[in-house]
C-alpha cells in the first residue's frame, strides 16, 4: 500500500495523459485567444462572402490556401467557425459544471450536516430529478425558455439557458457525494470540537468540512466536464441549443449533417473531430485524476 | 511440556527493514532474539513504533511490502523459516501458527456464520470431512466458553458481543491445533470484565494444551496477569528480557524503568506520575501568561457548585419513515445526578456502553437531553445556549487523530475560537496567543506553522488541549483523553492536565474506563453502569471501601501489577 501510493504520487503521469494534458492546454489557449487567432469573425456577416461557399479543405483538389479546413455553405471559414464553436462549447461545459457543483456542494453540505428532515427533503428532490433523463429535462427547459422569452431574447440568453438546463440534473451527483463525505466528517472529533467551541453551523460547514470534502468534488467535476460538453453538443445538434448564427460545435455538426451525403463531408466531420478530441482528452485527464486522488490510495 | 520438544519459537538476530522513498532504510526490528517454550506466554511490550507488531507479522509471513527480513533466523517448532519467501517448510500459517488480532469487530468476516469461520481453516488444512469439522468446531466453542455453543455456531458476528467475538477469534486460532499463537493486543478493545475472562482463557490454553503464546501488548497489567516471560522493546531493539516478575519488579535498563514507572498505579495516588519533567523556562513563562489571562473568570478551588446535573435522561431513537418521528427508543442515560465543584476533577468511570460519553456529550451540547436539568454557573443548559456558556465549557476528545482538522494549520485552528470570542483584536494577536498556549502545553511555539499530520498522537492531544484552553473556559470535559496513547505519553498528559487545572482554576469532568487513571486524576468519582450511577464517592473512599458490588467487581478485575505481587506475597 505504502509503496503503491509513493510511486503513484512521485511517478510522472503516463504518456497518454501527458498528451491529453497538452491537447487541453493548446485548446485552452486557442479558445481564450480565438478572436486574435481566427482568420475571420464568423459573427460578422461582412467578413465572409457567399462566393467562397463550399470550398474543400486546402489539402484537397480545388482547395483554397486561405481556408485551411475549407468553408461551409455560407462561405464561412471552418477554422474560424470551429474555434468560436469550441469556445462556446467549452464555456457552456465549464459553466454547467461550476453551476452544478456549486449547487450540489451547497445542498450536499446542508443535507449531510443537519440530517433529519432537511436531508430527507433535499435527497428526495434529488431522487425525483435523476429519474428524468438529462436530455429530456434539458429539452423541456430550453423549450419553455423559447416559449417564454421570444426568439430575440433566446439568442442572447442561449448559453445561460443551456448551462441551467444541463446542471438541473447534474448537481445531484455532487450533492450525493458531498452529503456522504459530510456525514463522515461530521462524526469526526474536529467537527464536534468546533461545535463545542460554539462556532455557528455555516462557519463549521464552510471552514472545517468543505475543504475536507473538496477533493472528491474536483474529480467528479473533471469527469462530468466531458459529459456536460457532450450534452450541450447533443442539444445543439437537436436544434434546442445554440443558434446557427452563434454556433457551438454541436450546431456546426447539425449544419454539416445536411450536407454529409452531398459530398461536402468536411463541414460535419471537422467540428465532429474537434469535439471527439476534446471529450477524449478531458476523459483521459479525468480518469487519471480520479485514480490519483482515489481515497483508498490517499488514506493513511 | 516435555524438555525434549524444541521451542515453539526461536528467533535469532532478526532484522526487519523498510526501504523508504527517500532512499534511506527504516530498521523496524534491530537484531532481536526471542525464544518461546511450549506452554509459555511471552509478552512483547513497548510503545507504538517499537516494532513489536512487526515481529509478530514477520513470523506469520504477513510483513507488508516493502518491508523485508534482512538477516537472522526464525525457527517455528524447530523448523527454519525461509527468509526470502517468509514461509516455513512444513509450517502453515493458520494451521501451526494461530493469530488473534486486536479488534474482534473486524477480524471476523461479517458474511460468515461462526461455523463457517471455524470450519474454513480446518477444511483447508486438516483434510477432514464437513461433519468432523463441525464436531470439532463445537468442541472448540465449548473450550473457549461460549454459552449455548450449538446455537451460536449458526450466528453471524454481529449477533455476538465483543467478548464472544474475541472468543470465536481465539477458537479460530486454535482450530487446527497450532503450536504457537500470536496474540496482537488481544484485549485492548475489550472491557475489563471481558478482558479478565479472555486472559484467563489464554492462560488456560497455554497450561492445558502446551501452546506457546507470543503476546504483543502495551498494557503492563496484562503482562503481570498472565505472562511468564517479558521482552521490552524500544525503537526496534530489545531493551530488557527475562522472567515477567523480575523485569516488572526490578527492571534494570533505564528505559524499562521509566516505562514501568509511567504505568499509573491503581492502589496508590501519586501527586505526579514519575516521568521526566517538561518544565522548561519557555513552558513556565507561557503557563504564567495563561494564568494571568484566566485570572478574571476563575476563582480558586472552593465548595461552590459549578455544574449541577439533576435527573438527566437521554434517549436515542431510531428514525421512522416519517421524518421527525421516532420508533424504538434506547435509554442511554437514566436519571443521572451529580455535581462538580469549582476546581474539582470529577471522574465518570464505567465500561463501554454505560452512558458516560453520552453524559459528556449532553453537557457539552452535542446531544440534547430528553429530560432532567443541567445547571452550569447559574445557567440552565438545554438545546440552545448563550455564547458565554459555550465559551466557558470546552471539551477534549478521545481520538487525537480525528480531533484536528487536517486542512488547517495548527495556529489557525487554535486561533479560531480565540478570534471568535473576541479574546484577541486581530489575527496576528490570536496567533501569538496560540503560540503561548502551545508552549504552555509543552510544544515548541513554532509548531503552529505546521499541519496536524506532522504530529504524533500525544502531541495532537496536547494541541487539542491548547485549542480547548483558547476560549479561557472555566470547565473542561475530557472524554478518555489518554486511552489512545502510550503509557509514558499518557503519564505526561495526565501531569499536564493536573498542572493546567491548578494554573487555570479549571473544573474538570474526566471520563475514563481505566480505573488507575481515574484514581490518579480525580477528586470524586461516579461509577456508571447501563445508564445509571451505581456509586458516587470520594476517590479514596471508593478505592479503599467500595460499597456497590459492581464497583468491587471492577476493582477486582482491573489487571494491576501491585495487586498481583501482593497476592503472591500473601500466598508465599
Question: What stretch of H or E contains B29?
Answer: strand B25-36
Helix (H) or strand (E) holding B126: none
Chains A and B form CB pairs within 8 A to the count of 75
What fold does the segment set A12-38+71-298 form as a domain? MetI-like fold (1.10.3720)
Q: Across the interface, do B324 and A189 touch by the CB < 8 Å criterion? A: no
* Residue B316 counted as domain residue: no
Tell whether B294 and B217 lie within a shared domain: no
| Mean local confidence (pLDDT), A46-53 | 72
Nearest CA in chain A to B390: A198
Residue B276 CB neighbours (<10 A)? 10
**Maximum distance among all alpha carbons in chain B?**
78
Query: Is the domain of B231 the same as that of B295?
Result: no
Q: How close are the terminal C-alpha atoms of chain A, in Å?
A: 9
- CA angle B134-B139-B142, nearest 5°? 125
Residue B309 forms part of a structural domain: no
Q: Is the pLDDT of residue A215 over 50?
A: yes
Question: How many of the other CB atoms lie within 10 Å of CB of B215?
Answer: 30
pLDDT tier for residue A5 given thresholds of 50, 70 and 90: very low
Kindly state whether residues B158 and B193 are assigned to the same domain.
yes
| B402/A189 touch (CB, cutoff 8 Å), yes or no | yes
pLDDT at A125: 92
Mean pLDDT of B523-550: 92
For the stretch A235-283, pLDDT in tens is: 888 888 888 878 888 888 888 888 878 777 888 888 899 899 999 999 9
- Same domain, yes or no: B367 and B476: yes
The span from the first CA to the last CA of chain B, in angstroms, equals 25
Same domain flag for B96 and B135: yes
pLDDT of A205 reads: 93
- Pick B110 or B528 by higher pLDDT: B528
Q: Is B300 helix (H, G, I), strand (E, B) or coil?
A: coil
Site from A1, A118, A190, A215 to mutate, B interface, most B CB atoms within 10 angstroms: A190
Residues 13-42 of A with CB under 8 A from B: none
Q: In chain B, what percentage of residues exceed pLDDT 70?
A: 93
**B554 grid coordinates:** 471492577
Close Cβ partners of A117 (under 8 Å, ≥ 6 residues apart): B323, B324
Residue B511 region by backbone torsions, left for phi larger than 0, else alpha for psi between -120 and 50, else beta: beta
CB-closest option in A6, A10, A208 to B405: A208
Closest by Cα among A150, A177, A165, A181 to A240: A165
Cβ-based contacts of A120 with chain B (< 8 Å)? 323
Across the interface, which of A192, A193, A195 has its CB nearest the CB of B467?
A193
Predicted confidence at residue A11, as pLDDT, reads 64
The per-residue pLDDT for B317 is 67
Nearest one of B467, B409, B417, B472 to B438, comparing CA atoms: B467
- Contact with chain B for residue A212, Cβ under 8 A: yes
Is the pLDDT at B46 greater than 80, yes or no? yes
Calculate the average pLDDT of chain A. Answer: 83
Which residue carries 457548585 as its cell? B305
| B417: chain A residues, CB-CB within 8 Å | 197-199
With an 8 Å Cβ cutoff, are B366 and A196 in contact?
A: yes
Q: Residue A295 pLDDT more than 70?
A: no
Residue B2 is predicted with a pLDDT of 46
Question: Do B176 and B36 share a structural domain?
Answer: yes
Residue B159 lies in a domain: yes
Q: What is the pLDDT of residue B110?
A: 83
Full domain range(s) for residue B418: 281-302+339-571
User: Contact at 8 Å (CB) between B81 and B87?
Assistant: yes
Do residues B97 and B76 lie in contact, with contact meaning Cβ atoms separated by under 8 Å?
Answer: yes
Q: Do B213 and B362 fall within a single domain?
A: no
When divided into structural domains, chain B yields a total of: 2
Summary mean pLDDT of chain B? 84
Nearest CA in chain A to B20: A3
Shared-domain flag, residues B36 and B94: yes
Q: Which residue has the higher pLDDT, B287 or B213?
A: B213
Q: Which residues of A touch B420 (CB under 8 A)?
A: 197-199
All three cell numbers of A54, joined, read 463550399
User: For residue B548, is pLDDT > 90?
Assistant: yes
Do residues A105 and A167 lie in contact, with contact meaning Cβ atoms separated by under 8 Å?
A: no
Cell readout for A35 is: 478572436
Residue range B494-519: mean pLDDT, rounded: 88
Using a CB-CB distance cutoff of 8 angstroms, which residues of chain A are in contact with residue B319?
Answer: 116
Q: Of A120, A190, A198, which has the smallest distance from its Cβ to B405's Cβ?
A: A190
Cβ atoms of B514 and B218 closer than 8 Å: no
Confidence grade of residue B87 (pLDDT, cut at 50, 70, 90): low
Residue B2 included in any domain: no
Position with higher pLDDT, B548 vs B277: B548
Contacts with B388 (C-beta within 8 Å, 6 or more apart), sequence order: none
pTM over 0.90: no
CA distance B292 to chain A (A): 22
Same domain assignment for residues B349 and B255: no
Residues in B touching A116 (Cβ below 8 Å): 319, 323-324
SS3 at position B295: coil
pLDDT at residue A40 above 90?
no
Contact A198 B391 (CB under 8 A): yes
Please report which confidence band the pLDDT of residue B538 belongs to, taking 50, 70 and 90 as the band edges.
very high
Q: Which residues on chain A are in Cβ contact (under 8 Å) with B385?
A: 198
Task: Tell me if B394 and A10 make a contact (CB, 8 A cut-off).
Answer: no
Give the model's pLDDT for residue A1. Answer: 37
Spell out which residues of chain B touch residue A190, defining contact as CB-CB under 8 Å: 402-405
pLDDT category of residue B41 using cuts at 50, 70 and 90? very high
Residue B65 and residue A212: Cβ atoms within 8 Å? no
pLDDT in tens, B110-169: 888 888 888 888 888 878 888 888 888 888 888 888 888 888 888 888 888 777 888 888
Residue spans per domain, chain A = 12-38+71-298
Asked if A275 and A233 count as a contact pair (C-beta separation under 8 A), the reply is yes
> From the CA of B290, how many Å to the nearest CA of chain A?
18
From B203, B233, B261, give the residue that closes a domain: B261
- pLDDT of residue B276 exceeding 90, the answer is no
- Contacting residues of A for B387, CB less than 8 Å apart: 198
List the single best residue of A196, A201, A213, A299 to mutate versus B (max B Cβ within 10 A): A196
Catalogue the E-assigned strands of B87-159: 87-88, 97-100
Looking at the fold, whether B452 and B535 belong to one and the same domain comes out as yes
Last residue of a domain, one of B261, B292, B310: B261
Evaluate if residue B82 carries a pLDDT over 80.
no
Same domain, B149 and B206: yes
What residues contact A227, with CB distance under 8 A and at least 6 apart?
A170
Q: Is the confidence at residue B296, as pLDDT, over 70?
A: no
Contacts of B365 in chain A (CB under 8 A): 195-196
Cα B118–Cα B119–Cα B120 angle in degrees, nearest 5: 100
Q: Which of A162-176, A199-213, B105-119, B395-409 has the lowest mean pLDDT?
A: B105-119
Q: How far apart are CA A206 and CA B56, in angstroms?
A: 44
* Mean pLDDT in residue range A169-179: 92
User: What gap in Å lies between CA B67 and CA B60, rounded to an integer?
Assistant: 14
Q: Is residue B1 very low, low, confident or very high in pLDDT (cuts 50, 70, 90)? A: very low
In a domain, residue B402? The reply is yes
B522 pLDDT above the threshold of 90: yes
| Dihedral pair phi/psi, residue B558, rounded to 5° | -60, 120
- CA atoms within 13 Å, Cβ hemisphere of B252: 9
Residue of B nearest to A207 (CA): B408
**What's B504's domain CATH number?**
3.40.50.300
What was the pLDDT predicted at B318? 57
Q: How far is CA B443 from CA B400, B426, B430, B436, B463, in A?
A: 15, 23, 17, 10, 8
Please name the residue that has the C-alpha cell 500473601: B570
H or E stretch including B442? Answer: none
pLDDT of res. B310: 92
CA atoms within 13 A on the CB side of B403: 29
Amino acid at each position: 500500500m505504502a509503496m503503491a501510493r509513493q510511486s503513484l504520487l512521485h511517478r510522472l503521469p503516463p504518456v497518454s495523459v501527458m498528451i491529453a494534458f497538452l491537447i487541453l492546454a493548446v485548446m485552452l489557449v486557442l479558445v481564450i485567444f480565438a478572436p486574435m487567432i481566427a482568420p475571420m469573425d464568423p459573427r460578422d456577416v461582412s467578413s465572409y462572402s457567399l462566393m467562397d461557399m463550399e470550398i474543400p479543405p486546402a489539402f484537397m483538389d480545388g482547395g483554397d490556401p486561405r481556408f485551411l479546413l475549407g468553408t461551409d455553405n455560407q462561405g464561412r471559414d471552418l477554422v474560424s467557425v470551429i474555434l468560436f464553436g469550441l469556445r462556446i462549447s467549452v464555456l457552456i461545459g465549464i459553466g454547467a459544471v461550476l453551476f452544478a457543483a456549486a449547487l450540489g456542494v451547497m445542498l450536499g453540505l446542508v443535507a449531510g450536516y443537519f440530517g433529519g428532515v432537511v436531508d430527507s427533503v433535499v435527497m428526495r428532490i434529488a431522487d425525483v430529478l435523476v429519474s428524468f433523463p438529462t436530455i429530456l429535462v434539458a429539452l423541456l427547459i430550453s423549450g419553455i425558455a423559447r416559449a417564454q422569452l421570444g426568439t430575440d431574447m433566446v439568442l442572447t440568453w442561449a448559453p445561460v439557458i443551456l448551462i441551467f438546463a444541463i446542471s438541473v440534473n447534474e448537481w445531484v451527483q455532487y450533492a450525493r457525494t458531498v452529503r456522504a463525505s459530510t456525514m463522515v466528517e461530521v462524526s469526526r472529533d474536529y467537527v464536534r470540537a468546533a461545535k463545542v467551541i460554539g462556532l455557528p453551523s455555516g462557519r463549521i460547514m464552510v471552514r472545517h468540512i468543505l475543504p475536507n470534502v473538496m477533493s472528491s468534488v474536483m474529480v467528479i467535476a473533471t469527469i462530468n466536464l466531458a459529459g456536460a460538453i457532450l450534452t450541450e453538443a447533443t442539444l445543439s445538434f437537436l436544434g434546442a441549443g445554440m443558434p446557427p448564427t452563434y454556433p457551438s460545435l454541436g450546431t456546426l455538426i447539425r449544419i454539416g449533417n445536411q450536407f454529409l451525403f452531398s459530398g461536402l463531408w468536411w463541414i460535419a466531420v471537422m467540428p465532429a473531430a474537434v469535439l471527439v478530441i476534446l471529450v477524449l482528452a478531458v476523459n483521459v485527464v479525468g480518469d487519471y485524476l480520479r485514480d490519483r486522488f482515489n481515497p483508498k490510495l490517499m488514506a493513511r | 511440556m516435555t524438555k525434549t520438544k524444541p521451542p515453539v519459537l526461536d528467533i535469532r538476530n532478526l532484522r526487519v527493514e523498510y526501504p523508504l522513498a527517500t532512499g534511506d532504510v527504516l530498521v523496524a526490528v534491530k537484531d532481536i532474539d526471542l525464544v518461546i517454550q511450549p506452554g509459555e506466554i511471552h509478552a512483547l511490550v513497548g510503545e507504538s513504533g517499537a516494532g513489536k507488531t512487526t515481529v509478530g507479522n514477520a513470523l506469520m509471513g504477513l510483513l507488508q511490502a516493502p518491508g523485508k527480513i534482512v538477516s537472522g533466523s526464525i525457527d517455528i517448532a524447530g523448523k527454519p523459516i525461509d527468509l526470502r519467501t517468509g514461509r516455513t517448510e512444513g509450517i502453515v500459517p493458520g494451521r501451526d501458527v494461530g493469530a488473534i488480532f486486536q479488534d474482534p469487530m473486524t477480524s471476523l468476516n461479517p458474511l460468515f456464520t461462526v461455523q463457517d469461520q471455524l470450519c474454513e481453516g480446518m477444511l483447508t488444512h486438516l483434510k477432514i470431512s464437513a461433519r468432523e469439522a463441525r464436531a470439532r468446531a463445537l468442541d472448540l466453542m465449548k473450550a473457549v466458553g461460549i454459552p449455548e455453543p450449538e446455537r451460536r455456531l449458526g450466528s453471524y458476528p454481529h449477533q455476538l458481543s465483543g467478548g464472544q467475538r474475541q472468543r470465536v477469534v481465539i477458537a479460530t486460532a486454535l482450530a487446527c491445533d497450532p503450536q504457537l499463537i500470536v496474540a496482537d493486543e488481544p484485549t485492548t478493545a475489550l472491557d475489563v470484565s471481558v478482558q479478565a475472562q479472555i486472559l484467563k482463557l489464554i492462560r488456560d490454553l497455554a497450561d492445558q494444551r502446551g501452546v506457546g503464546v507470543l503476546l504483543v501488548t502495551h498494557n503492563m497489567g496484562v503482562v503481570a496477569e498472565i505472562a511468564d516471560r517479558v521482552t521490552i522493546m524500544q525503537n526496534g531493539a530489545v531493551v530488557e528480557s527475562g522472567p515477567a516478575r523480575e523485569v516488572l519488579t526490578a527492571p534494570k535498563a533505564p528505559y524499562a524503568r521509566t516505562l514501568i514507572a509511567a504505568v499509573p498505579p491503581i492502589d496508590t495516588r501519586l501527586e505526579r506520575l514519575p516521568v521526566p519533567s517538561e518544565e522548561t523556562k519557555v513552558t513556565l513563562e507561557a503557563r504564567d501568561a495563561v494564568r494571568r489571562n484566566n485570572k478574571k473568570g476563575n476563582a480558586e478551588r472552593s465548595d461552590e457548585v459549578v455544574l449541577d446535573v439533576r435527573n438527566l435522561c437521554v434517549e436515542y431513537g431510531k428514525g421512522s419513515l416519517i421524518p421527525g418521528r421516532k420508533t424504538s427508543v434506547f435509554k442511554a442515560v437514566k436519571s443521572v445526578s451529580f455535581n462538580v465543584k469549582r476546581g474539582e476533577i470529577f471522574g465518570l468511570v464505567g465500561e463501554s456502553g454505560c452512558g458516560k460519553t453520552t453524559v459528556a456529550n449532553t453537557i457539552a451540547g452535542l446531544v440534547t437531553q430528553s429530560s432532567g436539568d443541567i445547571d452550569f454557573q447559574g445557567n440552565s443548559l438545554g438545546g440552545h445556549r448563550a455564547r458565554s456558556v459555550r465559551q466557558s465549557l470546552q471539551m477534549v476528545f478521545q481520538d487525537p487523530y480525528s480531533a484536528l482538522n487536517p486542512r488547517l494549520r495548527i495556529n489557525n485552528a487554535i486561533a479560531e475560537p480565540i478570534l471568535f470570542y473576541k479574546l484577541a483584536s486581530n489575527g496576528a494577536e490570536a496567533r501569538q496567543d496560540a503560540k503561548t498556549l502551545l508552549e504552555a502545553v509543552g510544544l515548541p511555539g513554532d509548531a503552529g506553522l505546521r499541519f496536524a499530520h506532522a504530529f504524533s498522537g500525544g502531541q495532537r492531544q496536547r494541541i487539542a488541549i491548547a485549542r480547548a484552553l483558547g476560549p479561557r473556559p472555566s470547565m473542561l470535559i475530557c472524554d478518555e483523553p489518554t486511552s489512545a496513547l502510550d503509557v509514558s505519553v499518557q503519564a505526561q498528559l495526565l501531569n499536564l492536565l493536573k498542572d493546567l487545572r491548578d494554573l487555570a482554576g479549571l473544573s474538570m469532568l474526566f471520563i475514563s474506563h481505566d480505573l488507575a487513571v481515574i484514581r490518579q486524576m480525580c477528586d470524586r468519582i461516579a461509577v456508571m453502569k447501563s445508564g445509571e450511577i451505581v456509586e458516587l464517592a470520594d476517590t479514596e473512599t471508593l478505592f479503599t471501601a467500595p460499597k456497590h458490588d459492581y464497583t468491587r467487581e471492577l476493582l477486582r478485575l482491573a489487571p494491576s501489577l501491585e495487586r498481583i505481587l501482593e497476592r503472591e506475597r500473601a500466598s508465599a
